[in-house]
Amino acid sequence: MVFSKYPDLEIMVRPFMVAVESGAGQQLAGQIASAQIAISKLSSPTVYWVMTGDEFTLDINNPLTPKILCCGNNPERIAIYGTIFSLYTSRLIKLINKQGKRHSALFWDELPTMFIKGLDLLIATARSNRVATWLGIQDFSQLYKDYGKEEADVILGIQGNVFSGQVVYETANKLSERFGRTNQEKESITFSQNDTSVQVSQELQNVIPASKISELEQGQFVGIASGSYGEETNFKKFNANILLDPNIGNADEHLPKIKDFKTLAASMGIEINSAEELEKFKEDIVRNNFLTIKKEVTDLIDYEQNMLLTQTELDFVNKKIGE
């Protein structure tokens, strides 16, 4: 009833109102409960803390305020955080896939761990808007499982550039088919008692067989590049070794602290002298933020319900006056 007051939301809640008016309230309650169980997993102080505030906007390729946005998932909470990443990503795609923006790139490793609505449309249109998309997938079967075969086939089919390390089974076969076939000479030698005959023939064979793809060593890659207008090349397909610096993985790198709670405490006039005090401050401020948001939501619902009751009473009074 509250949402029905707003013209923009009325059409969305109309099916629920019809169900209640038709006497299907019990069935509707069961459906809503099922949705609430799934959504309830997102209700945690940490999630509320991350998803509140206005430190930055998602238009990362804004010419005036370009940004680098890096997100990491927790393998133990993929089902929870994957939903949040999908929400942010869906909104980000709408903001950046426009004309007049800076060159930008989107890198998604372990793509099947989150669902991105409209990903196929992004890949098809982003290049004209100077947005490059990079998708990291361990195996095609993962994409089929989480995106469905139909949508996964579209995503895999419209990619112009493909780079692959060692994969096996169906993924190796599909990649081998994608790399195409070429006429290759086949030599057959026959030995007999009187002479030796050599027969040379040609037959179509895979440029990069699936068996070759399934036996690639670490650092070996196969792939195909789409090329660009004015930069045509006859060497689109490749099978090569990637030369890596052996010391690159041993470098001691420290990422900058994006949000330091100690600095936050200092800005609030709170002195932190130990790790225990810092941890307690962090827990307290995150918890208080969580409780504040829940109270604001409760207050908003109460306000809307009071406004609805007031409007109902006014309508009743006006009706009586009219009679």
pLDDT in tens, 271-292: 888 888 888 888 888 899 889 9
> H or E segment at 94?
helix 78-96
> H or E segment at 222?
strand 220-224
pLDDT in tens, 296-306: 888 888 887 78
Q: What phi and psi, each to the nearest 5 degrees, are found at residue 309?
A: -65, -40
Pick from 44-53, 140-149, 222-231: least confident: 222-231
- Cβ count near 260 (within 10 Å): 11
Q: How many helices (H) and strands (E) does the chain have?
A: 11, 7
Short-list 163, 161, 162, 141, CA closest to 152: 141
The residue-averaged pLDDT of 209-225 equals 81
pLDDT above 70: residue 321: no
Residue type, 52: T
Short-list 91, 88, 151, CA closest to 124: 151
Alpha-carbon gap, residue 285 to 271, rounded angstroms: 14
> Domain segments of the chain: what residues?
1-42, 61-159, 167-256, 259-323
Q: At what angle do helices 119-126 and 149-157 cross, to 10 degrees?
A: 10
Q: Which sign, positive or negative, has the C-alpha torsion 158, 162, 168, 172?
A: positive
The residue-averaged pLDDT of 155-170 equals 82
Q: Concatenated DSSP letters for 120-162?
A: HHHHHHHGGGTEEEEE--S-HHHHHHHH-HHHHHHHHHT-S-E
pLDDT in tens, 65-78: 888 888 877 777 77
Pick from 182-186, 249-253, 292-296, 313-317: least confident: 313-317
| Residue 313's pLDDT band (cuts 50, 70, 90) | low
Contact 165, 220 (CB under 8 A): yes
Sheet with 220-224, strands from edge to edge, namely 162-164, 220-224, 237-241
Alpha-carbon gap, residue 93 to 86, rounded angstroms: 10
- Cβ count near 282 (within 10 Å): 16
184 versus 107: which is more confidently predicted? 107
What was the pLDDT predicted at 6? Answer: 72
| Residue 119's pLDDT band (cuts 50, 70, 90) | confident
| Residue 320's pLDDT band (cuts 50, 70, 90) | low
**Would you give the distance in Å from CA 134 to the centre of its chain?**
11
The residue-averaged pLDDT of 303-313 equals 72
